[in-house]
Amino acid sequence: MRKNLPLYRISNHLKEECGIFGILGHEDAARITFLGLYALQHRGQESAGIVVSDGKRVAGFRGMGLVSEVFNEENLKSLPGQTAIGHIRYSTTGASVLKNAQPFQVEYSRGSLAIAHNGNLVNTAELRSQLEKAGSIFQTTMDSEIIVHLLARSQGTAFEDALVESLLQLKGAYSLLLLTQDQMIGLRDPHGFRPLCLGKLDGAYVFSSETCALDLIQAEYIREVEPGEIIIIDKKGARSLKPFPPAKPSLCIFEFIYFARPDSRVFGESVYLSRKQLGRELAIEKPVECDLVIPMPDSGNCAALGFAETSGIPLEMGIIRNHYVGRTFIQPSQTSRDLSVKVKLNPVKEVIRDKRIVVIEDSIVRGTTSKVRMKNLREAGVKEVHMRVSCPPHRYPCYYGIDFPTREELIASSHSVEEIGKFIGLDSLGYLSLDRMIKAMPFPKDQFCLSCFDGNYPER
C-alpha cells in the first residue's frame, strides 16, 4: 500500500504579502502583466491572476501556484485587451483557495470592475457586518471584496465620487489597482504603508509594487504614487486626486529590511543601498571578533556586504541556498525534520571549518529555523558561531498585510536577547537598535511604520 509521505513547508520565515501590477494602453497588456508579476513573485507564491479589458469586455484568469504555473500561451491568448491588472498573493486574510485569488472581478450596477489589493484592512469585521446587515452577500473571505460592496452601495453618481466615499470608510493598509472597461486606477492609503510606483512603457502607463517589474519590461520609472493619492488613467491621460485628510506617514520599514527585492526601489529609494547601510551600522554598533562574515542567503546578503566592509572582516559565501526548491517538501519517513531546513540551505564545510564566523540575518521570528541552521553549522565544524541581525527584535505582530505569527509565537516577545542566543545555540547574538536602523534609512523616523518593533500602531 502506498504510504502518504509528510509534506513540510520549506521555510517558516515571514511571508511576503502581495504584489500588484497593471498597464493601460498596450497591445500586449496581459503578457506584459504576466512579466510584471513574474518579477514580483517574491511578494506572494500562493496564487496569481490577471484581468484585462478591451474597452468593452472585462475578462480574467486566476489560479493557484506560481505565475509560471498559472499562466501559459493558451490562457494568456484568451486575455485580449490594452488594459490589464495582475495580482500575486500570499494569503494574509481569507483562506488560501482559488475563489480568494485576485484580482477580484464583479459585474455591478456601474458595469465591470476588477480590483487587486496589497495590504490588510483593520476594520474588516466591522464593515463586513454592516454590509451584511444591509443585504450584501459576500462571495469570498477577502477583505478586498468589502471595497466592491462599498462601491456598489455608494450614493455618489460619478464613479470617482463613489470611489472616494468608499475609500474614506476603510482603515488600514491598502495599495490598490482597479480596472473598469475604460479606466485603470492606482492608489495608496493615506498612511502609505505599502509601496506603489508609476512608470511608462511606449506611451502606456504602468503601475507596480516595486521597480524591479518596470526594469524587466524596460519601462521608464516616473514616480511613486503618494500616500493618499488616487491616480486615474484613461485614454485622455492621467489625473491625480488627493481626497483624504492628512494622516501620519507609515511606510513599512520592513520593505527595506527584508520584503522587497534588493534590485528594486521602494518608496522611491534603493533597497540594496539601504540594506547595505544597515550592515554598516550593525558592524559599528554590535562588533564581534571573528574570522569570517557569512550572509544568511539571500536576504542577509546586502547587510553582510556592509558589515564586512565596515568591520574589515572578510566575507565568504559559507552557506549556499538551493534555488530550485519548491514551496513544500516531501520528507521521507525515518529522517530528521531538520532535513526540511537542510534542503534549502547547506553550509560549505571547506569554508567555515575551524573558523569563528558571524552570520548576518535580517530577522528572527520563532527562532526554531535559526536553531536548526546553527546546529548544521556546528556539525560542519565551525569553531564559534555568532549572529548579528540587521533590525531590532520583532516583539509585536503586523496588522497591515505581513503574515507575522501571533505575539506568543514571536520569540523576542517573551525572551531576552541572551535567552534567544542560548535557545538558538549561538556564542553571541546582537540586534541593531531602532535608532541605528533609522540612521541607515533614507527617510526620518516619523515617516515609517515601526509597529512590529515598538507596538505603536498608527491604525487599529
Using DSSP, state whether 224 is helix, strand or coil: strand
Half-sphere exposure of 217 (CA within 13 A, CB side): 33
Measured from the CB atom, is 211 or 451 closer to ligand SF4? 451
Least separation, in Å, of the C-beta of 400 and ligand SF4?
4
Judged by CB under 6 A, the residue of 70, 398, 429, 440 near ligand SF4 is 398
Measured from the CB atom, is 316 or 459 closer to ligand SF4? 459
Measured from the CB atom, is 122 or 420 closer to ligand SF4? 122
Whole-number Å distance between alpha carbons of 78 and 238: 28
452 binds ligand SF4 (CB under 6 A): yes
Using DSSP, state whether 408 is helix, strand or coil: helix
Least separation, in Å, of the C-beta of 171 and ligand SF4?
14
Whole-number Å distance between alpha carbons of 191 and 205: 24
Whole-number Å distance between alpha carbons of 152 and 106: 10
- Give one word for 213, left, alpha or beta, with left for phi > 0 and alpha for psi -120 to 50: alpha
Residue given cell 547547506 in the structure block: 346
**Is 18 tagged catalytic?**
yes
- Within residues 58-77, the interface with ligand SF4 by CB under 6 A covers none
Which amino acid, residue 152? A
Residues in CB range of 312: below 8 A, 6 or more apart:
none
Least separation, in Å, of the C-beta of 399 and ligand SF4?
7
Whole-number Å distance between alpha carbons of 123 and 459: 10
- C-alpha separations of 78 from 60, 63, 130 in Å: 9, 14, 38
Strands 58-64 and 18-24, sheet pairing: unpaired
Q: Which span (179-187, 292-300, 343-351, 446-454) binds ligand SF4, by CB under 6 A?
A: 446-454
Give the DSSP letter string of 46-104.
SEEEEEEE-SS-EEEEEEES-HHHH--HHHHHT--SSEEEEEEE--SSS-SSGGG-SSE
Q: Which span (2-10, 41-49, 323-331, 396-404) binds ligand SF4, by CB under 6 A?
A: 396-404
Of 18, 252, 290, 398, the active-site residue reads 18
* Count of residues that bind ligand SF4 according to CB under 6 A: 11
- C-alpha separations of 172 from 120, 141, 192, 205, 255 in Å: 6, 17, 10, 27, 17
Measured from the CB atom, is 120 or 301 closer to ligand SF4? 120
Judged by CB under 6 A, the residue of 207, 400, 423, 431 near ligand SF4 is 400
Least separation, in Å, of the C-beta of 254 and ligand SF4?
4
437 binds ligand SF4 (CB under 6 A): no
Measured from the CB atom, is 113 or 391 closer to ligand SF4? 391
Are 11 and 344 in contact by the 8 Å Cβ rule? The answer is: yes
Measured from the CB atom, is 53 or 120 closer to ligand SF4? 120
Least separation, in Å, of the C-beta of 262 and ligand SF4?
17
441 binds ligand SF4 (CB under 6 A): no
Q: Which span (91-99, 153-161, 275-283, 395-403) binds ligand SF4, by CB under 6 A?
A: 395-403
Which residue is closest to ligand SF4 by CB?
A: 398
Least separation, in Å, of the C-beta of 450 and ligand SF4?
6
Judged by CB under 6 A, the residue of 38, 159, 193, 256 near ligand SF4 is 193
Least separation, in Å, of the C-beta of 344 and ligand SF4?
23
Measured from the CB atom, is 252 or 432 closer to ligand SF4? 252
- Within residues 233-262, the interface with ligand SF4 by CB under 6 A covers 252-254
Judged by CB under 6 A, the residue of 402, 412, 424, 438 near ligand SF4 is 402
Half-sphere exposure of 247 (CA within 13 A, CB side): 26
Instruction: Please name which of 248, 137, 232 lies closest in space to residue 184, comparing C-alpha atoms.
Output: 232
Measured from the CB atom, is 59 or 252 closer to ligand SF4? 252
Which amino acid, residue 231? I
Tell me which residues are annotated as active site: 18
Query: What residue ranges bind ligand SF4 (CB under 6 A)?
Result: 193, 252-254, 398, 400, 402, 449-452
